[in-house]
């Protein structure tokens, strides 16, 4: 089910007027039933004692539009916040870049290309200045390539969860985009807990598992951090008979990376390249809230692993038939 046909008009180009007004497909693994709801009905579907696990990573303005000294346009997508003034980057240009090349920005600033340069990737050097301030002033929201419009001012807020606080992602943990602050407070009033962890999302969220030649592409490592807040919240959830509800595939991968072998979490930080595909045995996650993902991606394999390959394929077919909106600004799926 890792490939499917999607009419172009179902790829959401804009967020809904209000975050929690998106649609919600509910997939029941026990009965195989697929039903329709609205996202703001989530509190009626979950139970008191359940705990939401949120990824609090914040998207930084990772897209830089530059040009060569000769005038040719070069678009950079930074893959990380700079360390010691340098950052790994993907780039799009009519001709390959070369080591030592200067790239100019409209405001007169510049960055330097440093090696190695290969396969549409390079390292860029921001010099001795404040790289973070430079990026904040010059960068654009890194909307994914299937959103066929330029980023606008509203995207700075809407392509960000309301609980985002730790900057470092180049793509939003999109399942969380549906929550408003009011809705989160309302869920808390109903006895549904929440906690946060961090995974800084890389470009794997929209990259295929195979390259243009059909060869496998190794998963990229992403930085994560699990604190005592999440460890304790999951422990309390278990002791109270609740379910651990992963908000997005990034939360799933982080929790499964830090599983303690007893359905709980370990505290710690590091990088993970955990790849979850059908046959994987989940240790921590009981319920998954996620968006609809691109064909051929690791995220779709994770959903198939959690829901079951046949049920996931059925749900996606139904989502197309029922005219759900797909991808980052689209609708959501809850797998029980």
Per-residue pLDDT tens digits for 6-27: 999 999 999 999 999 999 999 9
Domain assignments of the chain as residue spans, ordered by start: 8-59+154-335, 63-138
Based on DSSP, count helices (H) and strands (E) in the chain, helices before strands: 8, 17
pLDDT tens digits along 76-107? 999 999 989 999 999 999 999 999 999 998 77
What is the model's pTM? 0.93
Is residue 183 within 8 Å of residue 210, measured between CB atoms? Answer: no
Of the ranges 78-82, 132-136, 184-188, 220-224, the best mean pLDDT one = 184-188
**CB neighbours of residue 232 within 10 Å:** 14
For 63-138, the fitting CATH number among 3.10.180.10, 2.40.10.240, 2.40.160.40, 2.30.30.180 is 2.40.10.240
> Higher model confidence: residue 295 or residue 291?
291
Q: Return the CATH number of the domain spanning residue range 8-59+154-335.
A: 3.40.1780.10
Q: What are phi and psi of 105, to 5 degrees?
A: -110, 165
pLDDT tier at 213 (50, 70, 90 boundaries)? very low
List Cβ neighbours of 107 (8 Å cut-off, separation of 6 or more): 137, 138
The span from the CA of 257 to the CA of 12, in Å, is: 31
């Amino acid at each position: 089910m890792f490939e499917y046909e999607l009419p172009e008009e179902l790829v959401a180009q804009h967020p809904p007027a209000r975050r929690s007004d998106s649609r919600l497909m509910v997939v029941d693994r026990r009965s195989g039933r697929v039903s329709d709801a609205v996202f703001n009905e989530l509190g009626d579907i979950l139970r008191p004692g359940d705990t939401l696990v949120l990824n609090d990573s914040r998207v930084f303005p990772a897209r830089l539009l530059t040009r060569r000294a000769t005038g040719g346009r070069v678009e950079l997508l930074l893959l990380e916040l700079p360390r010691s003034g340098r950052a790994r980057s993907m780039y799009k240009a009519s001709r390959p870049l070369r080591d030592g090349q200067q790239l100019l920005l409209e405001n007169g600033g510049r960055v330097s290309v440093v090696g190695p340069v290969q396969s549409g990737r390079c390292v860029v050097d921001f010099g001795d200045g404040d790289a973070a301030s430079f990026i904040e002033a010059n960068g654009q929201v890194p909307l994914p390539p299937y959103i066929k419009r330029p980023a606008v001012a509203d995207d700075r807020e809407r392509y960000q969860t309301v609980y985002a606080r730790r900057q470092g992602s180049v793509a939003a943990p999109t399942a969380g985009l549906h929550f408003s602050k009011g809705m989160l407070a309302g869920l808390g009033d109903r006895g549904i807990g929440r906690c946060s962890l961090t995974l800084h999302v890389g470009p794997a969220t929209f990259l295929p598992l195979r390259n243009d030649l059909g060869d496998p592409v190794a998963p990229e490592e992403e930085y994560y951090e699990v604190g005592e807040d999440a460890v304790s919240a999951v422990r309390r959830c278990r002791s109270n008979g609740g379910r651990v509800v992963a908000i997005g595939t990034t939360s799933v991968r982080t929790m499964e990376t830090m599983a303690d072998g007893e359905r709980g979490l370990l505290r710690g930080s590091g990088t993970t390249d955990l790849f979850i595909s059908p046959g994987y045995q989940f240790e921590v996650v009981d319920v998954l809230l996620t968006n609809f993902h691109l064909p051929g991606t690791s995220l779709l394999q994770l959903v198939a692993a959690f829901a079951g390959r046949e049920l996931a394929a059925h749900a996606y077919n139904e989502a197309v038939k029922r005219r759900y909106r797909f991808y980052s600004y689209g609708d959501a799926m809850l797998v029980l």
